[in-house]
Each structure stands twice: as C-alpha cells, then as structure tokens.
Structure 1
Amino acid sequence: MKYEDLYISGVGSWYPKPVPVDKAIDAGWYDEGTRRRTGQLSATVAGDDDSQPEMAARAGTLAVRQAGLAQSDFGLLLHATTGFCGLDGWNVGSYLQHEVLGGHGVAFEVRQQSNGGMAAIELAAAYLAAGTDRTAALITASDRFAEPVWDRWRAYTGLVLGDGASAAVLSRQPGFARVLSVATESRAELEGAQRGDLPFRANPDPSDADAYPISLINRMKGFASNGMGLSEIFRRMNASLIKAVAVATDEAGIRPSDADHLIFPNFGRTMLQQEVLEPLGLDLDRTLWQWGREIGHAGATDQFGALDHLGREGLLEPGQRVLMTGIGLGFNWTSAVVEILERPTPVGPQL
C-alpha cells in the first residue's frame, strides 16, 4: 500500500541492562562456537521490576512525548507482543490505553509474533483513514523471554532473545518521517514450523518437558521431517521476504539498495546474512546489526527500537530513506519504506 499522508511523529524505546555473552558462556548457557556464528555481544534481560506491560508503557510514553500530541488526539492503541503479558485473564491493551493515553481511543492486541509491530502500521493506517476525527495512533511492542518458558540463549541457534519495548506514533499530521509504503506477505502453510509435532494443550505447563523450554529449532526440525523439508521451507520463506521488500520499495520508487538505513530483525550475523541479506542482495554494513548484537532479538520491538536508536545517535537526516522489515512466526513479513523529513529530537533519556 502506498501512502500520501501517513507520518511517524514520535518513537521511543526502553531496554533493560544487557548481560554479556561472556557471562552466559561462563555459566554454561551459551557456547563459544555459537558466539562465533552469531557475533552476539550481549542480550538485554529484564529485571524483577521490568514486566512486559510496564516496559511497553515506558516506551509508549517516550514516543508520545516526542510526538508532542495530546492524549486526546489518539484514537487507537495497538500493542504487539509474542507471548505472555504478565497475567492471564487480563487485557494489556487497556492497561496501556489507561497508563499512556489517559483512557483515550480504543486498544487492541496484535499477535503476529515478531512481526506484530510492523504489521500494526497497516492496521493503524486503515483506522486513521476511516475517520477525519482520528488524528493519531500509538503502536507499542514489548517482549520478555523469561525462564522457564524460554531459554533465551538456546531457543534458536541463529539468535539470542532479548527483552525490551519500543513504540511509534503514527499520525495524519506531518511528523519527522513519512511512511511511503507498506507491504505484507503471509505463508500460513508454514505455521507448523513453530508447532512441530506437538499436540495442543489445555493450559500452559512449564513442567511439560516436551514443550518447555520452547525450542524453535526442534519444532522446525519436527515439521520439516514430516514432509516439506528444510530446503523447501526456506525457499518459501525467502520468496515471501523478497516479495514484501520488492513491493514496498517499488511503491516507494526506490530499490532496496537505495535505502540509507536497513532495519531487519536482530538476528545473529550468520542467520541475518543467510536468511535475509543474501536473498535480498544487501550488505551487512548497511544494517543495524552492530546495535542489535548488543540487544538480541527482542521480538516485535526490533524495528521501532532501531529507528529510535538511529534518531538518538543523530544518524537520521532529511531526505534519507529507511527500509524496515519485520518477520513473524506463522509466517508473515511486513516491509515499509520511510522517508526522513527532519532530524528527530530525542525527548529525555530512555526511561
């Protein structure tokens, strides 16, 4: 979808303190061979006071402050997450609507796994276009990969999972960046790649050794062994990634290689090169990998977190184009091209 009047007015992020990979290796959580493949330096790990919803509220507050909009200007809040939000039988979207927007607008969760934040751009754009009284939408993303459900160091061999939150304010009024285009691709036939051969359960049970801690690589292998095969899985994944990026960049009037900044999920170096950059014909040094290797793959937060990082480091200049792409289990891919209109001014330190 090509857009003429969709803007990013503010971004924010909040990440807890990083745990060095050296510590993980010394503790037996990680190994030297995997570090050489991933190039990972550390992973941000939430403390006892860093719940998933509270981190989202911190990032959302920063994004709203940077946008300079009143709470009453917001008609929508979309919260993206990959998993547990602090409590079962509870609405995290309403919590964020109350804490960040003072109860204004309406709130919904987006469960497109690690692509949730990017996928929410299209949803927010459609909502804002549906009524002239809807000025702005807030997208928040937050994830925490805590034990015993997750083993952040071994869930998937190509990456390390980090904790944190990010947010973006989308508006119909001019902001520091304009969204030129967004494209999404989906491959529902690959949902089994994260289900493997596991049966459905009535309730989560971390004591169930077959299902926990979650091993994405074991589930992928289980799915591949039942017919499709790993080569065909990755062929279809590559094709959908390429199509999402091609449509978004074509609608924006650029080639992928024309982008001044490339934002992808915070995968390890080898995984990023093999599963993203090589299929697209792009170089590692054009990406935010140097930032991501200190954070880890923090679920749905990576893209807005990276954009916030670029702004805080003074690396965004008028006229630049940023190519942002999310990849979510299921599988789904969303790619967006953003044009920088002015240098964003960070609002205070990261909370």
Structure 2
Amino acid sequence: MAAVLMGLGGYLPPKVVSNEDLSATLDTTDEWISTRTGIRQRHTVIDGLATGDLAVEAGAKALKSAGHSVIDAVVVATTSPDRLCPAVAPEVAERLGLGTVAAFDLTSACSGFVYGLATAAGLIASEAADTVLFIGAEAFTTLVNPADRTTSPIFGDGAGAVVLRRGEPEEPGALGPFDLGSDGSRADLLAIPAGGSRQRSANGGPGHDAVPTEDWYLRMMGRPLYQQAVERMTRSADTALKKAGWTVDDVDWFVGHQANVRIVRAVAEELAMPEERTAVNIDRVGNTLAASIPLLLNDLAADGALRPGARVLLSAFGAGLSWGSTVLEWPDLSVESVH
C-alpha cells in the first residue's frame, strides 16, 4: 500500500513585511536582501497569532480540498510550537473537529515537511491510520532576533497542509521512495542555544537571568550552511530519483525547500534541472521552514502550473543537520490560492 495525496491547503498570516519595511529599522536595503536571498517580502504573525492558529487554517483548507472529514491521525511539523509542552497537534485536531484522534508533533526544522510525509506514510503502511492530516506550520519570526540583519530578513510565517489516504503505489498522488539523512556533528551551524534542557540545567540548575538575550534567538553560520545545503540536497534528490527509477528528464517540477534562491538554483544546476522546471516562491513568502514546500506546491497548483500527471521531485534541507527527498505524480486536486 502507499500514502496517496488527496488534499492540499495553505495559509499565510495577513501582515506583509517588505524589504523596505525592514530597512527602516535595520542596516540593510531591499537590494542587499533580494540579491543575497531572493526575498522581497514575507508574512509575519502579530497580536498573539501563533503556529497552532496557522495550522488550523491550513488544515481546514486541506480538508476542504480533499472533500474528506474522516481523519485517523494528525501530525504537525514545526520548530516554533505554541509552547515547549504540550505538542500543538492535539489542539489543532480538536479545533478542526476531528475528535480524539492520534495527534503529535515532529521537529526537523526546514526538512520537516519531507520527514513528516515519510512519517505519515509510515502510519498508513503500518495500518495505524487510513487517512492522515499532515501540516507544516511555523511562526518562526518569533524566534529570530529582529535586530540581526543576517537572519531577520530571511524568515516568514505560514502553514501548508496535506491530506493523505491509503492507496495503491501506481495511483497519481502516491508518494514515491524516500531518502532521509542527518548529520548531528554540524548541529551548531543553525541553532537556538537557549530554552532547552541543556541551557536550563547549566550552572547547577534552571535560571534565565544569566542567559544572554541573543541566546534566545537563532544563530546561523551562513557560508558552511550553504555548502552543506547544496551538497546534501543534491545527493538526496539524486538518490530519490534513482530509487524511483526516474531521471532528471522525467521531472516536470523540482520543488526544493525555499531557504535561499541561490541554494535552490545551485541544487538545480548540480542536478542539471532546467530553470524553467525549478519552482520558486521565496520572493513572496521568505523561508517558512516546514511550511515551505506545501506552500510552494499550493502556489503552483492554484496557478495552474502544476497539472495532473506532472512528475514532481521534492527535496529539503534544514537544521539538525537534516535533509530528505521524495517524488510523486501529481493528482487531480482542487486548490485555493493563499494570496
């Protein structure tokens, strides 16, 4: 049996922050940001809006797209949960009226969507669930230092969701072979030092007063991270293609995690993927971590660029370090625009 895509939805919070807006408070310019990242604007949460709220909105749209309300499990991929404890997924399930179904979170940063697809496929393969609502949702701008011009312009908030059902491997929408990997020896390349048990147990016990303010925000080592992203995504995507028996010529759309347009273009070049078949929407939404790939798929489908029967290659890379890729043939879905 296979996990088959039957619904897709996305949501972006209403506040839009342009590069010009950031330039008013940061030592930066629209040209500096856009030439280095490809980003021109991003959506951000305000007034108490949190990851769970975004997840509910995207989940509702995915359920509507699927025309299906019977869900056996809810999985939320996020690195910016509403609280450290408990998981946000059970509350999302309750707010969507799904009852007391199995519900849990997973954390794999920007690789969260691909890891989550594999997890949902595993639930279906093990017969723990016939249908799974899987959501990638992030309010990650709350974890980025607004005074840091190297990280603040990069990230945006949003959520993307899919409904998966039990089906046959030959069906349109069936998720293909997965390639997943990680390298914990490079965890510090992208990390938030404070907030976890390591920081809380330091110096004899809990204590927030001694923690430098910047430790509560994301730290990123850009150059080595870029190199790792290009190398790992390229190898992972190539492995997934080989497992599926596809070549690059068989791929209609390469949908890579939108971390930086230079990374996406570099991976496409390494794969010999033509630019016209390489999807990009980072200019409008920024890096939305686990929500990145489903939001991009939603854009492509809503615009009519992603048609039934198209062969799609998905690949992501993120903190951990972690990476993953998979393939699928696009099914016939009804999708609403998020813009």
Residue in 1 that maps onto 2:19: 21
Deviation >6 Å, runs of 4+ = 196-199
Correspondences of 1:35-74 after superposition (within 5 Å): 35-48=34-47, 50-71=49-70, 74=71
CA distance in 1, matches of 2:190, 2:129: 37
The verdict on how the C-alpha distance between 1:10 and 1:147 changes in structure 2, with shifts beyond 3 A counting, is closer
Residue in 2 that maps onto 1:304: 294
Residue in 2 that maps onto 1:240: 232
Select the residue among 281, 287, 293 that pairs with 2:278.
Answer: 287
Q: Which runs of 5+ in 2 are unaligned?
A: 201-205
What is the Cα deviation at residue 190 of structure 1?
A: 1.7
The verdict on how the C-alpha distance between 1:330 and 1:88 changes in structure 2, with shifts beyond 3 A counting, is closer
The verdict on how the C-alpha distance between 1:277 and 1:92 changes in structure 2, with shifts beyond 3 A counting, is same
Query: Is 2:213 aligned against 1:209?
Result: yes
Instruction: Give 1:190's aligned amino acid.
Output: R
What is the Cα deviation at residue 167 of structure 1?
A: 0.6
The verdict on how the C-alpha distance between 1:134 and 1:90 changes in structure 2, with shifts beyond 3 A counting, is closer
Instruction: Name the SS for the 1:179 alignment partner.
Output: coil
Query: Is 2:176 aligned against 1:180?
Result: yes
The verdict on how the C-alpha distance between 1:305 and 1:234 changes in structure 2, with shifts beyond 3 A counting, is closer
CA distance in 2, matches of 1:53, 1:173: 29
Is residue 191–residue 219 contact of structure 2 (8 Å, CA) maintained in 1? no
Residue in 2 that maps onto 1:315: 305
Q: TM-score if structure 2 supplies the norm length? A: 0.85
Deviations 1:266-323 (A, max 9, x none): 233334334x33433334432222x221100001001111111112112222321011
The verdict on how the C-alpha distance between 1:341 and 1:151 changes in structure 2, with shifts beyond 3 A counting, is same
The verdict on how the C-alpha distance between 1:188 and 1:280 changes in structure 2, with shifts beyond 3 A counting, is farther
Instruction: Name the SS for the 2:284 alignment partner.
Output: helix
Instruction: Give 2:11's aligned amino acid.
Output: W
CA distance in 1, matches of 2:91, 2:182: 30
Correspondences of 1:1-351 after superposition (within 5 Å): 5-17=2-14, 18-28=16-26, 30-31=28-29, 32-48=31-47, 50-71=49-70, 74-83=71-80, 85-131=81-127, 134-147=129-142, 149-151=144-146, 154-156=149-151, 160-173=154-167, 177-195=173-191, 200-202=198-200, 208-217=212-221, 230=224, 237-274=229-266, 276-289=267-280, 291-342=281-332, 344-346=333-335, 350=338
CA distance in 2, matches of 1:150, 1:65: 36
Instruction: Name the SS for the 1:58 alignment partner.
Output: helix
The verdict on how the C-alpha distance between 1:69 and 1:100 changes in structure 2, with shifts beyond 3 A counting, is same
The verdict on how the C-alpha distance between 1:188 and 1:281 changes in structure 2, with shifts beyond 3 A counting, is farther
Is residue 97–residue 105 contact of structure 1 (8 Å, CA) maintained in 2? yes
Percent identity among equivalent residues?
A: 20
CA distance in 1, matches of 2:276, 2:147: 26
Is residue 316–residue 340 contact of structure 1 (8 Å, CA) maintained in 2? yes
Instruction: Name the SS for the 1:166 alignment partner.
Output: strand
Equivalent pairs, count: 327
Deviations 1:136-165 (A, max 9, x none): 1111111112347533973549x7101011
Instruction: Name the SS for the 1:211 alignment partner.
Output: helix
Q: TM-score if structure 1 supplies the norm length? A: 0.82
The verdict on how the C-alpha distance between 1:197 and 1:215 changes in structure 2, with shifts beyond 3 A counting, is closer
The verdict on how the C-alpha distance between 1:120 and 1:89 changes in structure 2, with shifts beyond 3 A counting, is closer
